[in-house]
Amino acid sequence: DAKTTQPPSMDCAEGRAANLPCNHSTISGNEYVYWYRQIHSQGPQYIIHGLKNNETNEMASLIITEDRKSSTLILPHATLRDTAVYYCIVRVWVTGGGNKLTFGTGTQLKVEL
């Protein structure tokens, strides 16, 4: 699986958009970009994933550059409850799962009043 690079920490004001970058310059054509987050002392929570098109769901938007070497997770209106470590992971998606997820160091997002 391709390696990812994320800033170790970011701050965001409540109500503002949080833009979390991820660099994955060695991504392969069949690798997806996944985002998970981990609130303190809980298991990771799925946020969103994409292959090459931008994606949006009720939690966030995912913007993937045309060359697929980087992406940005956007939380449109961050709240205090969005304070967590955000992990960007790239991997091949296999029908039925089965491949392990490898976590990097992630970005600690702190949302403040």
Partner 1 sequence: GAVVSQHPSWVICKSGTSVKIECRSLDFQATTMFWYRQFPKQSLMLMATSNEGSKATYEQGVEKDKFLINHASLTLSTLTVTSAHPEDSSFYICSAPKHTASYGYTFGSGTRLTVV
Residues engaged in binding partner 1 (CB under 8 A)? 34, 38, 41-46, 49, 87, 93, 95-106
Least distance (Å) between residue 76 CB and partner 1: 20
Is 81 in a helix, a strand, or coil?
A: helix
CB-CB contact of 87 with 106 (8 Å) = yes
Least distance (Å) between residue 11 CB and partner 1: 18
Q: Which is nearer to partner 1, 14 or 23 (CB)?
A: 23
Length in residues, the chain: 113
Q: Which is nearer to partner 1, 68 or 106 (CB)?
A: 106
- CA 35 to CA 72: how far, in whole Å? 10
Least distance (Å) between residue 71 CB and partner 1: 15
Structural tokens at position 54: 């931008």
Count of CB atoms situated within 10 Å of the CB of 21: 15
Q: Which is nearer to partner 1, 16 or 105 (CB)?
A: 105
